[in-house]
Amino acid sequence: MKRVLVTGAAGMIGRKLVERLSGDGQCDLTLHDVVSFGNDGNSVVSDLSAPGEAEKLVAGRPELIFHLAAVVSGEAEVDFDKGYRVNLDGTRLLFEAIRKIGSSYRPRVVFASSIAVFGAPFPEAIGEEFLNAPLTSYGTQKAIGELLLSDYSRRGLFDGIGIRLPTICVRPGKPNKAASGFFSGIIREPLAGQEAVLPVPESVRHWFASPRAAVGFLLHAARLDSAKLGSRRNLSMPGVSATVGEQIEALRKVAGDEAAKLIRREPDPLIMRIVSGWPQNFDAGRALALGFRADASFEDIIRIHLQDELQKTAPPPRGLA
């Protein structure tokens, strides 16, 4: 049995990752989150940024660590102290706890980074050598996590890989107030027969991955031969680049005109301004060469949502079934 630690295990991606890991039956799982969740045998509820908590989590010397715990973008922007405490200090304390165990312990660490490490102005497609110049505190904290991960890996303190997740779409659950929420909302709500608000023009382009693809990235990162990474241990994940217009067209194809008609245009200058600073398209050639696989199309992203969340019948997605 492989000893595996997952931080942020109660989050949306965390829960789906844990489901996959549990299904394999090959893992001795330790699940961590700051909020109480389920009653799995080996779950720990604690604040990773509190003194001593990271040490407790790695005391069992997990061979594989998925570090997903983070305060999300919007909250890190509103609450400066909390964002830096959890996203920067929490990450550093985890890395330090690993280091302090000593040279006989060198786990694989998979760090969930984000395309928020990039900030406008952008080239047409963001390549692997493009500057990390984040325009949010969340992106700053993730970029710092990447730098620490590289340095700790270079020094042989652990074997790290950072993966920059695209915007996850379709996020299951209720609408939230994140500025990016509409990207999922305009698909999720119409599929449930409900109206959705679109605050930006159809020309807005963004970079997407389904929750299932995101879990696939994490699992692939866990088993990747890190010798192939060289010194650059942080990678932009492949995704689907789609305009809002293309999203709506895909919805129409999968669920018909009646679904697409549930999208109500209500331009919001604030959201338009925020979104204009976000990445639109990537050259993820390096991740593709290393075997990471994106969703095949935005239509497939919608079908995955139907299959995984709504258990509706839909044609199986290509490549990710």
Q: How many CA atoms lie within 13 A of 256 on its CB side?
A: 5
Any contact of residue 147 with its own copies (CB under 8 A)? yes
Cα of 170 vs its chain's centroid, Å: 12
Burial class of residue 249, CB neighbours in 10 A (0-12, 13-18, 19+): middle
- Check if the beta carbon of residue 142 is closer than 8 Å to that of residue 92: no
**Phi, psi (deg, nearest 5) at residue 264:** -105, 125
> Residue 98 has which token pair?
């690993």
Out of 18, 93, 115, 143, the residue judged to bind its own copies by CB under 8 A: 143
Q: For its own copies, how many residues bind (rule: CB under 8 A)? A: 23
Which listed residue (84, 105, 138, 152) is catalytic? 138
- Residue 237 beta carbon to its own copies: minimum distance, rounded to whole angstroms: 16
Any contact of residue 231 with its own copies (CB under 8 A)? yes
Q: Which is nearer to its own copies, 119 or 211 (CB)?
A: 119
SS3 labels along 231-262: CCCEEECCCEEEEHHHHHHHHHHHHCHHHHCC
Any contact of residue 132 with its own copies (CB under 8 A)? yes
- Tell me which residue of 113, 97, 125 sits closest to 150, measured CA to CA: 113
Asked if omega into 71 is within 30° of 0 (cis), the reply is no
152 is catalytic: no
- Residue 320 beta carbon to its own copies: minimum distance, rounded to whole angstroms: 30
- Residue 193 beta carbon to its own copies: minimum distance, rounded to whole angstroms: 41
Any contact of residue 148 with its own copies (CB under 8 A)? yes
Cα(110)–Cα(265) distance, integer angstroms: 39
Q: Which is nearer to its own copies, 123 or 267 (CB)?
A: 123
Q: Which is nearer to its own copies, 154 or 265 (CB)?
A: 154
User: What 3-state DSSP class applies to 46?
Assistant: coil
Per-residue binding string, its own copies, 167-196, x by CB under 8 A, is ------------------------------
- Check if the beta carbon of residue 77 is closer than 8 Å to that of residue 101: no
> Residue 191 has which token pair?
């599929």
Q: Which is nearer to its own copies, 64 or 148 (CB)?
A: 148
* Stretch of residues binding its own copies (CB under 8 A), selected from 138-146, 195-203, 214-222, 302-310: 138-146
Any contact of residue 232 with its own copies (CB under 8 A)? yes
Cα(194)–Cα(47) distance, integer angstroms: 37
Out of 30, 49, 150, 167, the residue judged to bind its own copies by CB under 8 A: 150
Any contact of residue 228 with its own copies (CB under 8 A)? no
> Residue 100 has which token pair?
């302090």
Window 86 to 125, contacts with its own copies (CB under 8 A): 119, 123
Out of 72, 135, 178, 296, the residue judged to bind its own copies by CB under 8 A: 135
Burial class of residue 41, CB neighbours in 10 A (0-12, 13-18, 19+): exposed
Window 63 to 92, contacts with its own copies (CB under 8 A): 80
**Phi, psi (deg, nearest 5) at residue 249:** -60, -40
- Residue 137 beta carbon to its own copies: minimum distance, rounded to whole angstroms: 5
Active site residues: 138
Interface with its own copies by CB under 8 A: which residues? 80, 119, 123, 128-135, 137, 140, 143-144, 147-148, 150-151, 154-155, 231-232
